[in-house]
Structure 1
Amino acid sequence: MQNKVQLISYVDRLGGGGVADLRRLLKRPLQGLFGGVHLLPFFYPIDGADAGFDPIDHTRVDPRLGDWADIQALSQDVDVMADVIVNHVSADSPQFQDYSEKGDGSRYAGLFLSLDSVFPLGASEAQLLKVYRPRPGLPLRPITLKNGQKKILWTTFTPQQLDIDVRHPEGQAYLAAILQRFAEAGIRMIRLDAAGYAIKKAGESCFMMAETFEFIAGFAAQARALGIEVLVEVHAYYRRQIEIAARVDWVYDFALPPLALHAFFFQTAEPLKQWIRQRPCNALNVLDTHDGIGIIDIGADSADRAGSPGLVPPAELDALVERIHANSRGQSRQATGAAASNLDLYQVNCSFFDAMGRDERSYLLARALQFFLPGVPQVYYVGLLAGHNDMDLLARSGVGRDINRHRYSADEIASELQRPVVQKLLQLIRLRNECPAFGGEFQLHESAAHELRLSWRAGAHEARLRIDLQTLDHEVCFGELSLRF
């Protein structure tokens, strides 16, 4: 992966067109800004139960967006990342439809996990309650197949997303076919979606177990053999994220978004500095993604709350969430928790710009922080345009995360790109891409609690960042060039 800023976007929500239209956008108004683009699910269909994360056919581009030739053409311009949804498939998939019609006589009977296949001796209450859950309730869906058989299927996320047995030959063949199709289209980076839940084991948490690491390592080896790097997406206790990073190519720095907000809200950099001293460097640095702002990533370990404290005390974590709600004028509260469907227990749904109260200087300084940390920065398309919460989309869909998934028309993009805050962000991106210092040595400098000082040096090239969190006085320097926000 190039050490340049990357873009994260849905194909059809940045300009309203297909892959070819996004390619034209990247070659014209956004020319030279990004070393790569993470295309959020573009598989058939893009408008299922979970915005494309429940594909009917993971090896087919949704025809409304284009085809594999369009993906391959885009990959000639920028590095392309795509999602491999390893944990589940759609209940409308041809594999499940065959299983539903034929039951145990289907070749795909072993592909789908059921209560019995995970707990062949039966499950006790204690065993079921031990299963780690990203959402309320049990990961189970009672269903009557078309042939009349009754089953209880495993569903980690929505009832439409049926978990697969990734160790069964049909599960292995299913995932291998996806990798092969991606490699043929020039995709050189994949994100393993929901990989932490991929392995189920009776009596265990079914989340990031030793067996899960074994699966990730094996699948990553298959990908590397095809020339594909692997990013693992896991929201977890921060020490666990460090452990994961030591065993994979890339991880997200999901602790950064809430820690950046904490620093600006509480006017202290101490928890952030604590994280910088130990965070993995093989990280994709994000402030926002297609999901919400993670809270679990800096909180205490839910499995051992007393013995494993978080980076931020519980009272401050609660206050951080309330500050986001206040800054967004209550909009994030309407999109978070039980207020909206697609409920996540560990995220606050809000655009990052609105989470910061639309304070342009703080927002740009947070982006500078993101760009100065070791790793590769990724910028979400809504964040690129300093986007606001989309309350109309939220009202139409009822899906909390849609508050930060606005559909930009081409005219909107042209207008948003002229806003001063966006112009300054584009300048910041270009300087981060072009400055040779970021290929050198990073340093976190000693400073007062309310101040953050970072620098990079490669030979005669230097880049410096200083932020006073009390006054927002700052220094953002790329060689001899200084930026003021």
Structure 2
Amino acid sequence: MKNEVQLITYADRLSGGTLQDLRALLNGPLAGVFGAVHILPFFYSIHGADAGFDPIDHTRVDPALGDWSDIKALAQDMDVMADVIVNHMSSDSPQFIDYSKRGAASPYNGLFLTFDAVFPEGATEEDLISVYRPRPGLPFTCMTLANGEKKILWTTFTPKQLDIDVQHPQGRSYLESILQALASSGVKMIRLDAVGYAIKKQGDSCFLMPETFDFIDEFAALCRSVGLEVLVEVHSYYRKQIEIAKRVDWVYDFALPPLVLHAFFFKTGKHLKQWIAQRPTNALTVLDTHDGIGIIDIGADPSDRVNRPGLVPPQELDRLVEIIHINSGGQSREATGAAASNLDLYQVNCTFYDAMGRDDTAYLLARAIQFFMPGIPQVYYVGLLAGRNDMDLLERTRVGRDINRHRYASAEVDSALGRPVVQQLLELIRLRNAHPAFDGAFSVEPTGDSCLHMRWINGPVVAELLVDFTDLRHELLFTDEGGTRRIAFAKAF
């Protein structure tokens, strides 16, 4: 993976609607800005229950976007990352339609995880209570198949997203077919979506169990065998992220977004610096994604038998969430928790720009902190354009995360690219990509809790960032053989 900033985007929500449009944008107004692009699910169909994360056919590009030749063309320009939705597929898939009609006679019998496959003798109340739930309700749906049979199927996320039995030969064959389709089309990196839920076991949480880690090990090895680097997507307590990082190529640093917000809201870098000292460095850094802002990632793990603390005290977590709601004028509250359907219990739905109160200086400093963190930075398309909450889309869909999934018309993109905050962000991205200091050694220099001083040194070249969270004064310096370049957003030292 190149040590350059990557873009995260839907193919149809940034560039006009197709993969060719996206390629034109990346080779036109955004030429040279990104080293790679993570295209969020572009499989058939992108119009399902979860914006493409419930594929009907995971081996087919949605015709509304283009076809595999468009992916190949884009992969010739830059590295491409794609998703493998490991845990589930759509109830409208041809595999499930066949199974629904033919039952045990279907060649796909065994592909979909049934209740009795995990609980052959039935489940006790304790069994059901033990299952970790990211969303309200039980992870099962009782269905009447087309042939009249009644089945209880695992549906971890929604009734339209049917869990796959990844340990069954049919499940393994299905996942292998996806890897082959991606690798043969020039995709270089894959993101394992919802893999933490892939293995189910009676009497356990069915989330990030030892058996889950074993599956991740095996599947990651299979991915590498066809030339794919592996990024694992798991929202969980930070100690589990550290453990996962030891076993895969890349993980997300999901603790970073709430810790950055905490630093600005509480005017202290104490907890952020504590995280920097222990975080994995084989991480993709993000401030925003297509999901909400994770809170669970910096809290205490209630299942920890020795009751070790989280990265941030519980009362400050509650206050952090409340400040996001205040900064967004209450909009994030309308999109979070029980206020919106298709929800995640441990995420706040809001654009990062709105979460920071639309303060350009604070927002750009947050991005600078992200870019200075060891790892590979990713910027979500809404964050790239310093986008605001899409309340119209939220009102239409009542899906909380849609508040941060705006569909940009081409004219909107052109207008946003002319905003000073976006132009300065693009300048930061180009510096992060090109400056040789970021290939050197990283350090956090001693300061008081109210400040953060990050430095990269590579021989004679240096990049450093000093932020005072009390008043947003800052120094951002890039030194090379030609001298020192100073970047200032406002309130500089």
Deviates further, 474-483 or 389-398: 474-483
- Per-residue CA deviation, residues 106-151 of structure 1 (Å, 9 max, x unaligned), is 1211111111011111100101110111101110100000111101
Work out which of the residue numbers 459, 462, 487 in structure 2 matches 1:483: 487
Identity between Structure 1 and Structure 2 (%): 69
CA drift at 1:305? 8.1
Aligned to 2:113: 113
Q: Which residue of 2 aligns with 1:246?
A: 246
In the alignment, which residue of structure 1 is the partner of 2:60?
60
Shift of 1:302: 2.8
Aligned residues: 485
3-state SS of 2:251 partner: strand
Alignment of 1:118-197 (within 5 A): 118-197=118-197
C-alpha distance in 1 between matches for 2:227 and 2:86: 19
User: Within 1, Cα distance between the matches of 2:32 and 2:262?
Assistant: 32
Counterpart secondary structure, 2:298 = coil
Q: Matched residue of 1:423: which SS?
A: helix
Q: Which residue is 1:38 aligned to? A: 38
Q: Does residue 264 in structure 1 map to residue 268 in structure 2? A: no
Match for residue 83 of structure 2? 83
Shift of 1:306: 7.0
Paired residue secondary structure (1:15): coil
Distance 1:305 1:275 in 2: 22
Whichever residue aligns with residue 434 of structure 1, its letter is A
Deviations 1:20-45 (A, max 9, x none): 11001000100000000000000000
Bigger Cα displacement from structure 2, 194-203 vs 297-306: 297-306
Deviation digits for residues 231-280 of structure 1 (CA, Å, limit 9, x no counterpart): 00000111111011011100000000000000000000000000000000
Corresponding residue for residue 423 of structure 2: 423
Q: Does 1:356 align with 2:356?
A: yes
TM-score, length-normalised on structure 1? 0.99
Structure 2: distance between partners of 1:446 and 1:7: 32
Task: Give structure 1 regions of 4+ aligned residues with deviation exceeding 6 angstroms.
Answer: none
SS in 2 for 1:141: strand
Q: With the length of structure 2 as denominator, give the TM-score of the two structures.
A: 0.98
- Residue identity matched to 2:237: Y
Q: Distance in 2 between matches of 1:122 and 1:238?
A: 34
For the residue of structure 2 that corresponds to 1:82, the secondary structure is strand
Aligned partners of 2:206 and 2:162: how far apart in 1?
15
RMSD: 0.8
SS of structure 2 residue aligned to 1:41: coil
> Aligned letter for 2:365?
L
Instruction: Give, in angstroms, the shift of residue 102 of structure 1.
Output: 0.6
What letter is aligned with 1:153? L
Q: Deviations over 1:295-329 (max 9, x none)?
A: 00001103238702110001000000000000000
Is 1:26 aligned to 2:26, yes or no? Answer: yes
Opposite residue 296 of structure 2, the aligned amino acid is: I
Aligned partner of 1:411 in structure 2 is: 411
Tell me, in whole angstroms, the C-alpha distance in 1 between the residues paired with 2:307 and 2:372: 32
Q: Which moved more, 1:411-420 or 1:298-307?
A: 298-307
Q: Secondary structure at the match of 1:14?
A: coil
Shift of 1:16: 2.3
User: Equivalent residue of 1:477, what SS?
Assistant: strand
1:292 aligned residue:
292
Partner of 1:408, secondary structure, is coil
| Structure 2: runs of 5+ lacking an equivalent | none
